[in-house]
Amino acid sequence: MAALKVCCTRCLKGDILNDSHAEIVAKRSFQRYLLHQMWLAASHQQCSIFIPGTETGKWKLKPSIVFVFFCSHTPCGDASIIPISEPENQLSKLVTGDDAAGQSAECRSNRDHLGPEDKRKSEKMASNHIIKRMKTGDDGYFSVITEDLAFQQVSAKREEDTNPKNCECSGEMQTANKKTGLGRPKVVDVYRTGAKCVPGELGDARVPGLGYHCVGLLRVKPGRGDRTCSMSCSDKLARWNVLGCQGALLMHFLQYPLYLSAIIVGKCPYSQEAMQRAIIERCQHISFLPDGFLTQKVKLLQSDLRFEHSRQAIQEARTNSKTKLVPCSAAISWSAVPEQPLDVTSDGFRQGTTKKGIGSHQSRSKICKVELFHTFQKLVTNISQEDLPDTLRMKTLETYWDYKEAALNYQEAWKVLRSQALLGWVKNAKEYLHFT
């Protein structure tokens, strides 16, 4: 899977591509590929990547096959909150002026939008946490709530009377502190993410410099205009790292979830510590997962390959231009499938769709929910009842919601993950999922 970031976001119904961020487009294209491979397996064709499992109707991946995810930029959300050292800060245009507004809208505190009862709830949650401070190298402190990874908060403080022995430094901060002389980097700021903190939960401090953002929090994508219901790519990658990339529907046919072996990020502002925190560490403490589900320690790597159409590359090529850069509204996906492998959408609809054509079959992307669901339904109907897995055999299932909920082991794993690590996850309203 490869994700090149040139996309935008919306949050609508199942016949529209409601999240066009590159990581999500790549993952949905991957699921389309997996559905085709499952059809090959069910048709007893040896070219499939799947082989029979030990349970009736279940399949597993051939042992020689692994999946690597490449993304041209760090995922939006928690993984993009990256420390900036002083020399970098002097050269960077990403966190000041018009670029800061264009690249990532500010994540405002959600307490302003809460009612009295919700505010009390938020204050109560905050009071139950222990704060550990990480020294920045200039007698300031980058503070992180550590008792509950789902509600971490950052604040920047100068405390002369703080005992350094009580401060736990991050790996990046320790490296900076050990360096001496003129080359010693001084961490002075963080890269901003446009993803907004989940409504009703703890919000960003928004103080200048290191304390602008809170780390470890769940976030939703900003979209264009109103806040969306799509979780950030960092949050979704953290979820996939526990539940797998196949989703609930395909889990009916799989004996084990399909995990990524590695996530590779292209040349861009990058922090190994931020990636580790956002994708792995927030969920690594969970327990009592159903059989087959794991808290993966996926390999996190960075490439020196830079996407030539990335925001940073375009900014460097247009140093004298005052034209504001805006995200592209198009999403291009490709899947290794025999029919219509290329899919191009604009604002959630297939490219070329007119206002009159919205809502028609021709307006749908091949990777929107309803199209993937129909592909799944065709797979189910082509398999005899005795060869179906238990979760699908002799069942009266009709809607997309019904089939997802019937994947019992997946839903149990998701319940455990949500209750122990991703507590504030914004779930889609049921009415958006009751389609056939």
**Per-residue model confidence as pLDDT tens digits over 350-385:** 998 888 888 888 999 999 999 999 999 999 999 999
Q: Give the pairing type, strands 349-350 and 342-346.
A: antiparallel
Section 23-34 average pLDDT: 97
Please state the φ and ψ torsions of residue 142, each to the nearest 5 degrees.
-100, 95
What is the value of pTM for the model shown? 0.78
Please give the Cα distance from 200 to 433 (Å, whole number). 24
Query: Which pLDDT score is estimated for 58?
Result: 97
Section 292-305 average pLDDT: 96
Q: What is the DSSP letter of 366?
A: T
Q: Give the pairing type, strands 349-350 and 131-135.
A: unpaired
Structure tokens at 148: 């509950």
pLDDT band at 225 (very low <50, low <70, confident <90, very high): low
Catalytic residue from among 23, 172, 273, 371: 23
pLDDT band at 63 (very low <50, low <70, confident <90, very high): very high
Place of tokens 């509204």: 329
* Radius of gyration of the chain from its Cα atoms, rounded to whole angstroms: 23
23 as an active site residue: the answer is yes
pLDDT band at 323 (very low <50, low <70, confident <90, very high): confident
Query: Residue 40 in contact with residue 253, Cβ under 8 Å?
Result: no
Give whichever of 85-99, 146-160, 312-326, 412-426 has the largest mean pLDDT. Answer: 412-426
pLDDT band at 103 (very low <50, low <70, confident <90, very high): very low
Please give the Cα distance from 6 to 72 (Å, whole number). 10
Give the residue with greater pLDDT, 267 vs 140.
Answer: 267
State yes or no: pLDDT of 291 exceeds 90.
Answer: yes
Which residue type does 216 have? G
Q: Which 3 state secondary structure label does DSSP give 108?
A: coil
Q: Which 3 state secondary structure label does DSSP give 134?
A: strand
Section 266-276 average pLDDT: 96
Please give the Cα distance from 139 to 340 (Å, whole number). 58
